[in-house]
């Protein structure tokens, strides 16, 4: 039922969500969300090179997090109901888009350019807020089995969503509940996640035929790490509300 990469994906996502649950700082919660480890594991679990579906899924990821925030904070719906509605929107949009999104190289680069502009525009138009910290009161022996069970169910649907599963908000699905008092901070970081994962995708797309899927993702991580350092240093200089997207 589960292959080696499926098990690795379950382990990584479960660990990340557990960290989000027990770290109090909203910025550190968002930093954990920022790590594109689940994306890498999901690509290896699916076993297919990145294409336009992976890119379009990044927009759906932002819409998911934004929807949870609006449903919970603006419409005052319970957080669990907000997560269920937003996740259903992601799955529905992915199912509708899957037969419509071409998987050619040209469509990948066009969609990557469009999504990059989208992320840059969103990042430019938003500002950070100081939000309340929160730490789960449940003991680990209760919390971890719940998290692992939810993640296992998510991995089971990977073949249905295909490329869209790589950007499915696995961490954010459970993490949104654990960060329910700092959803704006979580949403604020999504455009930065999009830009970084786009870089990883681009490197993998260019190199996977030469070095293979796994090594191409590793090369993408090298570029991503350099980009993350640059982003951290640049944004740390910005005062006040435009402070670093990383803690």
Report d(CA 234, CA 228) in Å as an integer. 10
Segment 223-230 mean pLDDT: 80
List all residues 6 or more positions away from 38 whose beta carbon is below 8 Å from its beta carbon.
9, 12, 13, 16, 170, 171
Report d(CA 233, CA 98) in Å as an integer. 38
State how many domains the chain has.
Answer: 1
Assess if residue 197 is contained within a domain. Answer: yes
Three-state DSSP class for 153?
helix
Assess if residue 247 is contained within a domain. Answer: no
Burial per residue of 105-136, b for 16 or more beta-carbon CB atoms within 10 angstroms, e otherwise? eebbeebbeebbeebeebbeeeebeebeebeb
Instruction: Return the pLDDT at 231.
Output: 63
Closest CA to 5 of 46, 37, 36, 39: 46
Give the range of the structural domain holding residue 30, as residue numbers without chain letter.
Answer: 4-242
pLDDT digits (tens, 9 = 90+) for 71-127: 999 999 999 999 999 988 888 888 788 888 888 999 999 999 999 999 999 988 888
Segment 126-132 mean pLDDT: 80
Closest CA to 56 of 114, 8, 14, 121: 114
The DSSP line for 100-145 is: TS--SHHHHHHHHHHHHHHHHHHHHH------------S-HHHHHH
Q: Which residue has better confidence, 43 or 63?
A: 63
Orientation angle between helical segments 183-211 and 52-69, nearest 10 degrees: 170
Report d(CA 199, CA 196) in Å as an integer. 5
- Per-residue H/E/C for 111-123: HHHHHHHHHHHHH
Burial per residue of 4-41, b for 16 or more beta-carbon CB atoms within 10 angstroms, e otherwise? ebbebbbebbbbbbbbbbebeebbebbbbbbbbbbbbb
Confidence of residue 242 (pLDDT cuts 50, 70, 90): very low
Assess if residue 211 is contained within a domain. Answer: yes
List all residues 6 or more positions away from 95 whose beta carbon is below 8 Å from its beta carbon.
160, 161
Q: Are 40 and 193 in contact (CB under 8 A)?
A: no
Assess if residue 8 is contained within a domain. Answer: yes
Report d(CA 201, CA 51) in Å as an integer. 8
pTM of the prediction? 0.82
Count the Cβ atoms, other than its own, within 10 Å of residue 88.
12
Q: Residue 60: is its pLDDT beyond 80?
A: yes
Assess if residue 170 is contained within a domain. Answer: yes
């Amino acid at each position: 039922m589960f292959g080696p990469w499926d098990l690795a994906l379950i382990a990584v996502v479960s660990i990340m969500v557990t960290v989000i649950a027990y770290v109090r700082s909203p910025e550190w919660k968002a930093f954990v969300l920022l790590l594109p480890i689940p994306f890498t594991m999901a690509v290896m679990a699916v076993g297919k090179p990145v294409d336009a579906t992976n890119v379009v899924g990044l927009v759906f990821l932002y819409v998911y997090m934004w929807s949870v925030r609006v449903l919970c904070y603006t419409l005052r719906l319970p957080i669990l109901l907000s997560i269920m509605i937003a996740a259903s929107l992601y799955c529905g949009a992915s199912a509708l888009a899957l037969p419509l999104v071409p998987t050619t190289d040209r469509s990948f680069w066009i969609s990557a350019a469009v999504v990059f502009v989208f992320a840059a525009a969103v990042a430019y138009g938003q500002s950070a807020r100081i939000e309340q910290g929160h730490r789960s009161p449940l003991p680990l022996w209760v919390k971890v089995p719940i998290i692992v069970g939810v993640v296992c169910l998510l991995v089971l649907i990977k073949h249905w969503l295909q490329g869209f599963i790589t950007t499915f908000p696995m961490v954010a699905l459970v993490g949104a509940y654990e960060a329910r008092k700092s959803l704006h901070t979580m949403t604020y970081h999504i455009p930065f996640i999009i830009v970084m994962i786009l870089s990883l995708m681009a490197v993998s797309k260019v190199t996977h035929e030469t070095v293979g899927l796994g090594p191409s993702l590793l090369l993408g991580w090298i570029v991503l790490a350099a980009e993350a350092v640059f982003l951290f240093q640049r944004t740390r200089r910005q005062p006040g509300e435009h402070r670093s997207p990383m803690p």
